[in-house]
Amino acid sequence: MTYYASVIVDVPAKQTDRAFDYEIPAKWHGFIQPGMRVNVPFGPRQIQGFVVEVKDNTTIPKTRPITSLIDIQPILTPELMRLADWLRDYTLCFTISAYQAMLPAALKAKYEKWLIATDLGGVPAELQPFFHASNRVKFEEMAGTSHFKTIKQLIEEDVLEVYYEVKDKLSKKTRRVMELQVSKEALLKAKEKISARAAAQHKLLDFFLETNTEKIDKKTLLEELQIGTSAIGALVKLGILKEKDEEIYRDPYENREFKKSQALSLTQQQQEAIIPILHSIEQHTHEAFVMFGVTGSGKTEVYMQAVDAVLKQGKEAIVLVPEIALTPQMVNRFKSRFGSDVAVMHSGLGMGEKYDEWRKIHRKEVKVVVGARSAIFAPFENVGIIIIDEEHETSYKQEDTPRYHARDIALERGRYHQCPVVLGSATPTLETFARASKGVYKLLTMDKRMSEQGMPSVEIVDMREELREGNRSMFSRSLLEKLQTRLERGEQSVLFLNKRGYSSFVMCRDCGYVVECPHCDISLTYHRSSNQMKCHYCGYEEPVRSTCPSCDSEHFRFFGTGTQKVEEELTKLLPHARVIRMDVDTTSRKGSHEKLLQQFGDRKADILLGTQMIAKGLDFPYVTLVGVLTADTMLNVPDFRSSEKTFQLLTQVSGRAGRHELAGEVVVQTYSPEHYSVELAGTHNYLDFYQKEMQIRKLHQYPPFYFLALVTVTHQELTKVVTVTEKITNFLNMQLSDEAVILGPVASPIARIKDRYRYQCIIKYKREPNLHEALKTVIEKYQTQMDQEKLAVHIDLNPYMLM
């Protein structure tokens, strides 16, 4: 019987977005399964592919065989493969892109080709030296030699085998261990048989008899017993011990001890929130919950107790946390409660470390994963709960193909596993809260803080007023005074500088000239450490100039407030304050982020100064003051969500103050004190903000009243970009109903990146059954041009970045 494998090849293109049939060589019958990767011939090339089906017939008259195996067990579960199909239809990506998105980067790394001698004796003498007394040689080493013909022949004769090795397999760390193969009785018997003169062997036997050790590191064993390897070899020959390589995981939390934490007894509100979740867990039903709990209301404790219930059922849990909040504090909480059952996945880990964490999940060695966005694809097969903390965070949306939102994946997986999905936040997105109001999601409210003190009081300071009264500093008088009081009382403060949508750019005070990137339509950012101007989009750099290139004025200097500058001023104003600065510069080294927070937690500093990095998830008992230096920088970004983002951020930052016994205070400095998102964040009034913002969204036809789709076209030539975008817009106009609003073609807010012009068209719609088909047609139509002329057409259904 001949068996065939349907394979999705690694060529992300329309024409190849389907399975191709390959013959399975007899030696792999019964071995190849869906979810495994193989190398297959494709035209003149060898490429990677995913097996999606194994069958005993094909309609293809002439199939070629699979060349080699990459995996020896499936790396995608049947559920994930099904999910990939859904993802393809839902985001209009290619199946292969969906598969790739589900795997850790290490598995996508380059692989190495090896020639392996299946029979070293059969290798001719002139080739022997290449093998350096092993049975393998790198293909590249041989490829350039005159022996190529011989090699080819040897491959045909099966003396040599080609083997593709994924690079990271080499970086997998192993240790040599000795494993006991027999019972204690057998050990005693061996002691009788083995000559007394073989003292080392007796030492070994005694060791295993006395210590109950089943398995031990070889090196440790040799050192411990002070014996040579020959004794071990002798016992291996007798079948008493077995020598083998065992994987060691590079556990990033290896040297840390976690004090075991016990479940706290829940408050009334926590109790009320957890009951419906536990109900859904017990009943094995899928339900989506919105846990709307103010900052410091104890959401994490509810998550952990729900996870605990799931583990007791023998099931697994996925907990998503935004990258930025994946702080040691959050990780510690889960590690302390669930110990070695937890895998942690975030971008701070090296590729190898991430791979190790993924493998623990894949091998079912852990039951809980706490991770950033991509952890939603954890290859668990028995999921009992999915939790998304800080569900409003935009980092849950992937801005690259496949352009998915982790929330949607969570809901899809929740339906598959018939388990609850919990979306937690003090400031849910309007989309989520609107669904909760309609009863699509179940709303769980926790409006009380754990601490007696309740929500911190917020003072909004008008910085224009400060300036009018002669204060030119970046600190208002009120904030400075309050900082001083904290220093006197030995309490701590957090100072937050909103960097997003804001940068330190260089501008001429006389003519207004701003230094821009020559390749992207965006201003260059000033970097003090290197005294260079840098482009954040393409990496272009140039030295800082002292005069304006446009008018020669010397009033040419940089604007914007960097954390460094704040720190300098702070040390001038409060020379005795101990300040910890947290920004990209001070946290780029591995582990430094964590070290700084630890120092602050140990009260080795009075003030923690930082950017977005410190806005979330921090829970320090002695923080009684939070200062927001510039509350409104984000309000000026051209994005319909800017008010929502400002409200969320202000609420989250304020939430760091007064979380325990001591009462908290917040000072918000702003140039737009009358803006409703600043005002309502000041009174902790989410519901009013929600109402107000909903009216505005309705008026301007934005989500959640309308859906959005964004088509972006990029190319080196402006005329090409404009014509193509125009054609696409016209086409969509014809295909869609009159209710759809099509905006465009217009230049994208960032009109050029890396010398490529960017145009876009935005579609606002309520119900457009034709939309997906129409967009697919658009991609198909431009596929050839996309391949040949490097034209790019990106489609984002439900975009979060309109830039």
Ligand X SMILES: Nc1ncnc2c1ncn2[C@@H]1O[C@H](COP(=O)(O)OP(=O)(O)OP(=O)(O)O)[C@@H](O)[C@H]1O
User: How far apart are the C-alpha atoms of 716 and 753, rounded to whole Å?
Assistant: 10
Say which entry of ligand X, Zn ion, none residue 304 contacts (CB below 5 to 8 A, set by partner kind). Answer: none
- Residues 85, 18: Cα–Cα separation, whole Å: 11
Maximum Cα–Cα distance for the chain, whole Å?
A: 98
Q: Which member of 16, 39, 297, 672 binds ligand X (CB under 6 A)?
A: 297
Q: What letters, b where the CB count within 10 A reaches 16 and e where it falls short, cover 261-295?
A: beeeebbebbeebbeebeebbeeeebbbbbbbbbb
Which 8-state DSSP code applies to residue 265? P
Q: What value, to the nearest 5°, has the Cα angle with vertex 498 and ends 492 and 502?
A: 155
CB closer to Zn ion, 437 vs 550: 550
Nearer to ligand X, 456 or 673 (CB): 456
Q: Is 650 in the site for ligand X (CB under 6 A)?
A: no
Is 659 near ligand X (CB under 6 A)? yes
Q: Which residues pair with 711 in a beta bridge?
A: 761, 795
Given candidates 120, 266, 443, 750, which one binds ligand X under the rule CB under 6 A? Answer: 266
Q: Determine the interface stretch with Zn ion among 169-177, 353-361, 513-521, 768-776 (rule: CB under 5 A).
A: 513-521
Hey, which residues does 370 pair with through a beta bridge? 319, 344
For 40, phi and psi rounded to 5 degrees? -135, 155
Residues making up the annotated binding site for Zn(2+) are 508, 511, 517, 520, 535, 538, 548, 551
Position 300 contacts ligand X (CB under 6 A): yes
Instruction: Return the closest-CA partner of residue 645 out of 662, 626, 629, 632.
Output: 632
Q: Kindly tell me which of 299 and 360 has the beta carbon lying closer to ligand X.
A: 299
Q: How far is the CB of 382 from ligand X (least distance, A)?
A: 27
| Using rule CB under 6 A, residue 267 touches ligand X | yes
- Nearest-approach distance from CB 694 to Zn ion, in angstroms: 38
617 binds, among Zn ion, ligand X, none (CB under 5 to 8 A by kind): ligand X
Q: Which does 553 bind (CB under 5 to 8 A by kind): Zn ion, ligand X, none?
A: Zn ion
Identify residue 470 by its one-letter amino acid code: G
Tokens of 219: 């090196």
Q: Rounded to the nearest 5°, which phi and psi values hold at 209? A: -70, -40
Identify which range of 193-201, 205-213, 503-511, 667-675 contacts Zn ion by CB under 5 A.
503-511
**Residue 513 sits in the site that holds Zn ion (CB under 5 A):** yes
- Asked if 266 and 299 touch (Cβ cutoff 8 Å), the reply is no
**517 is an interface residue for Zn ion by CB under 5 A:** yes
For Zn ion, which residue of 483, 548, 653, 668 counts as binding (CB under 5 A)? 548
* Lookup: tokens for 684: 């902790």
Helix, strand, coil shares of the chain as percentages rounded to 5?
A: 40, 25, 40
Partner that binds at residue 583, options ligand X, Zn ion, none, CB closer than 5 to 8 Å by kind: none
342 or 740, CB closer to ligand X?
342
Please say whether the beta carbons of 204 and 227 come within 8 A. yes
Instruction: Indicate the residue among 293 and 744 with the shorter CB distance to ligand X.
Output: 293
Task: Point out which span in 93-101, 478-486, 547-555, 559-567 binds Zn ion (CB under 5 A).
Answer: 547-555
The tokens of 773 are what?
């088909």
Is 298 an interacting residue with respect to ligand X (CB under 6 A)?
A: yes
Cis peptide bond upstream of 745, omega within 30: yes
By CB under 6 A, name the one of 301, 341, 567, 693 that touches ligand X. 301
Q: How far is the CB of 447 from ligand X (least distance, A)?
A: 11
Work out how close the CB of 800 gets to Zn ion at its nearest, in angstroms, rounded to a whole number: 22
> Applying CB under 6 A, which part among 170-178, 241-249, 266-274, 589-597 lies near ligand X?
266-274
Which position among 107, 368, 426, 763 is part of the footprint of ligand X (CB under 6 A)? 426
End-to-end CA separation in angstroms for the chain: 56
Please say which residue, 87 or 524, places its beta carbon nearer to Zn ion.
524
Angle at 583 between CA 580 and CA 587, to 5 degrees: 85
Write down the least CB distance from residue 448 to ligand X, Å: 11
Tell me the window of 296-304, 550-558, 673-681, 764-772 that interacts with ligand X (CB under 6 A).
296-304
Region 445-484 residues binding ligand X, contact defined as CB under 6 A? 450
Residue 648 binding ligand X, by CB under 6 A: no
Is residue 746 a contact residue for Zn ion (CB under 5 A)?
no
**Window 216-255: contact mask with ligand X (x via CB under 6 A):** ----------------------------------------
Q: Assess 655 for contact with ligand X (CB under 6 A).
A: yes
Residue 267 site contact among ligand X, Zn ion, none (CB < 5 to 8 Å, cut-off depends on kind):
ligand X
Q: With binding defined as CB under 5 A, does residue 537 bind Zn ion? A: yes
Residue 649 beta carbon to ligand X: minimum distance, rounded to whole angstroms: 13
Residues annotated in a binding site: 508, 511, 517, 520, 535, 538, 548, 551
Query: Closest approach of Cβ 317 to ligand X, in Å?
Result: 16
Q: Quick one: which of 10, 412, 491, 619 contacts ligand X (CB under 6 A)?
A: 619
By the 8 A CB rule, do 313 and 340 touch? no
Residues 6+ apart with CB under 8 A from 381: 77, 79, 316, 364
Is residue 296 close enough to count as binding ligand X by CB under 6 A? yes
**422/288 Cα distance (integer angstroms):** 6
- Residue 746 touches ligand X, criterion: CB under 6 A: no
CA distance 622 to 150: 75
Task: Take residue 653 and report the two structure tokens written for it.
Answer: 């930052």
Binding-site partner at residue 537 among Zn ion, ligand X, none, CB < 5 to 8 Å by type: Zn ion
782: closest CA among 709, 715, 707, 710? Answer: 715
- Judged by CB under 6 A, does residue 714 bind ligand X? no
Comparing CA positions, the residue from 181, 274, 285 lying closest to residue 236 is: 181
Close Cβ partners of 370 (under 8 Å, ≥ 6 residues apart) = 319, 321, 326, 330, 331, 334, 342, 343, 344, 345
Should residue 491 be labelled a site residue for ligand X when binding is judged by CB under 6 A?
no
- Residue 658 as a binder of ligand X (CB under 6 A): the answer is no
Which token pair is 683?
């009174």
Q: What CA–CA distance (Å, rounded) separates 344 from 105?
A: 15
Q: How far is the CB of 425 from ligand X (least distance, A)?
A: 7
Q: Is 260 exposed, middle or buried (0-12, 13-18, 19+ CB in 10 A)?
A: exposed
The answer to the question of residue 163 lying near Zn ion (CB under 5 A) is no
Whichever of 628 and 732 has its CB closer to ligand X, that residue is 628
Closest distance between ligand X and the C-beta of residue 325, in Å? 8
Are 342 and 391 within 8 A, CB to CB? Answer: no
Going by C-alpha positions, the residue among 212, 249, 209, 198 that lies closest to residue 352 is: 249
535 is in the binding site of which of ligand X, Zn ion, none (Cβ under 5 to 8 A by kind)? Zn ion
Closer to ligand X at the Cβ: 330 or 791? 330
Comparison of 298 and 745: residue with beta carbon closer to ligand X:
298
Asked if 329 is part of the footprint of ligand X (rule: CB under 6 A), the reply reads: no
Task: Please identify which residue in 37, 88, 299, 405 interacts with ligand X, judged by CB under 6 A.
Answer: 299
Interacting partner of 672 out of Zn ion, ligand X, none (Cβ under 5 to 8 A depending on kind): none
d(CA 55, CA 149): 36
The CA–CA distances, whole Å, from 173 to 47, 135, 222, 784 equal 27, 21, 20, 44
| 350/252 Cα distance (integer angstroms) | 9
Among 74, 293, 428, 610, which residue interacts with ligand X (rule: CB under 6 A)?
293
**Chain residues that interact with ligand X, rule: CB under 6 A:** 264-267, 270, 293, 295-301, 426, 450, 617, 619, 655, 659
**Chain residues that interact with Zn ion, rule: CB under 5 A:** 508, 510-511, 513, 517, 519-520, 535, 537-538, 540, 548, 550-551, 553
